[in-house]
Structure 1
Amino acid sequence: MNRLLKKSSVIIKQAFIALGLCCVDLPVAVAQIDSLSENYSQPKYGFHHKVFRIEYVAPTVFMTYGLMSIKNPVVRSQVMNIKLELQRNHPKKFPVDDYSQYMATAAFLGLEYAGIPAKHNLKQRLFTGSVSHIIMGSVVNLMKQTMPVMRPDGSAQNSFPSGHTATAFVGAELLWQEYHDRSLWYGVAGYAVAAGTGFFRMYNNKHWLSDVAMGAGIGIMSTKIAYWMLPMLDKQKRIIPGNYLLVPTYDGKHSGISLLVNL
């Protein structure tokens, strides 16, 4: 365990250095966002809203880093060094990531039944949960098919991006959106589990750091788009009849989400 913690600290440090390669202009970007947003007064989910714009910086940075890793030799070298550091004297695998990817989504759906009210009602949460997973799954599968990258363990050429990480960060952002107004710790816990999922995808030699970064960005961005689309649900007055349940699924190779409806 001590060895794992030591490795974690080293990898986290190197990961921040690597991510810094594509973040050098971030303060300028944020300043421009602040300047532009002062001239607008838009609805909460509008693209010109100040908070909306700033919140999109993080997933954009993650995805930019992921894309840079494909062609940029400096980033690729950093990704390889992190992989080698993780696999040095590697004792054994911890397949906890196969299950932790769903934990935040489960909390997003279940906390209300534990007596902790969510920000939106069940119909709205089913909408955002479904849309975010559909967007995430579509983007991840499309990129895996069109941008083949060999996994670190050489098992397949579908490493980029990490689907497990994308799923985990969808859940983390869903949890953040629904519960951070009640307590920041709900969102922090969700993102901690998602980050842990990404780390163990690398530790278990299934993904590169760039895969994890891209997956995180896709997961966060997919959920933010889903919440931006939420007003469409009320405008069209779409009603799902009867009893319904949103259930994450995993068959050992593929992950997804199922909507069960009792008509």
Structure 2
Amino acid sequence: MRTTALLAVFYITGFFSYAQNSIEKDSIAIDTVKNITFSYKQLIIPGVLIGYGVWGIESGQIKSFNFQIRNKITDNIDQKVSIDDFSRYVPAVSVYALNAFGVKGKNNMRDRSVILGTSLIIMTTTVFTLKNVTNIERPDGTSNDSFPSGHTAVAFAGAEFLYQEYKDVSIWYGIAGYTVAVGTGLFRLYNNRHWLTDVAAGAGIGILSTKIAYWMNPYITRKLFGSKEIKSTSYIMPSYNGRQFTICYFKTF
């Protein structure tokens, strides 16, 4: 029942996003795309998170701390919960839901979809590369692809995306997104699927992936659409088949 309800939210969100764009077509020149300016200060938080996670791969002291945290969190757990399988997508989907209900963000549908797509490509490539290279065993012993946490990376990439799009409207949208992302990371620990270092690194990778996507967006947009005005309709529709979650990007001219 919970799965059905969440899927309904995803599809309704996608429908509203499409309906809104069918009525109000995106028409914007490339030089009006709103991005964030690169600053070394923006690398501090994701850098610290990723650094801590990587350091924990070889540090015996941090490994010991991982076990202590795992034992405290998972002690007396009777049943695992699967909310983290869905909560990771909430921040990113919220950007489209807010826009569908009339709360305008920083960028239009086309540009923010390019930004999100770029972020997901960077994040996914980084996560799966590190999983294959490090071969860290999961706390529950089920596999050797624990580092970093992909769920957490998706959640924090979406949280940073939500923050960047709506920070000028209200800082509370970003706070809400990051709260959901932190909760997703905690549930990965609670379900005994990841170590604390996995979650920290995943969070850093997610945040950094979205920041890079914003920095790269002027170049990517110019390559994809040129420098003249283009009228188009585009939207992202999430889908879930019971085992895998996919995000489909649709575009019409």
**TM-score normalised by L of structure 2:** 0.79
Q: Distance in 2 between matches of 1:134 and 1:165?
A: 15
CA RMSD of aligned residues (A): 2.0
Q: Distance in 1 between matches of 2:243 and 2:146?
A: 13
State the 1:113 CA deviation: 1.1
Query: In the alignment, is the contact (CA less than 8 A) between 1:137 and 1:256 conserved in 2?
Result: no
Which structure 1 residue ranges, 4+ long, deviate > 6 Å from structure 2? none
Query: In the alignment, is the contact (CA less than 8 A) between 2:105 and 2:165 conserved in 1?
Result: yes
Q: Which of structures 1 and 2 has the larger relative contact order (alpha carbons within 8 angstroms, sep 6+)?
A: 2
Matching residue within 219, 222, 247 for 2:237:
247
- For the pair 1:82 / 2:72, whether they are aligned, the reply is no
State the 1:257 CA deviation: 3.0
- For the pair 1:152 / 2:142, whether they are aligned, the reply is no
- For the pair 1:224 / 2:205, whether they are aligned, the reply is no
Higher mean displacement: 236-245 or 97-106: 236-245
User: For residues 176 and 96 of structure 1, do their structure 2 counterparts lie closer, same or farther at Cα, with a shift above 3 Å needed?
Assistant: same
What are the within-5 Å matches in structure 2 for residues 84-103 of structure 1? Answer: 84-103=71-90
State the 1:69 CA deviation: 0.7
User: For residues 55 and 174 of structure 1, do their structure 2 counterparts lie closer, same or farther at Cα, with a shift above 3 Å needed?
Assistant: same
Which residue identity is paired with 2:88? Q
What are the within-5 Å matches in structure 2 for residues 17-166 of structure 1? Answer: 45=36, 47=38, 52-166=39-153
Percent of aligned positions that are identical: 42
State the 1:254 CA deviation: 4.9
Q: Distance in 2 between matches of 1:99 and 1:148?
A: 25
Gaps of 5+ in 2: 1-34
Q: Distance in 2 between matches of 1:181 and 1:188?
A: 13
State the 1:246 CA deviation: 1.7
Higher mean displacement: 246-255 or 205-214: 246-255
Which residue identity is paired with 1:136? M
Q: Distance in 1 between matches of 2:233 and 2:194?
A: 38
The 3-state SS of whatever aligns with 1:245 is: strand
**TM-score normalised by L of structure 1:** 0.77
Query: In the alignment, is the contact (CA less than 8 A) between 2:110 and 2:234 conserved in 1?
Result: no
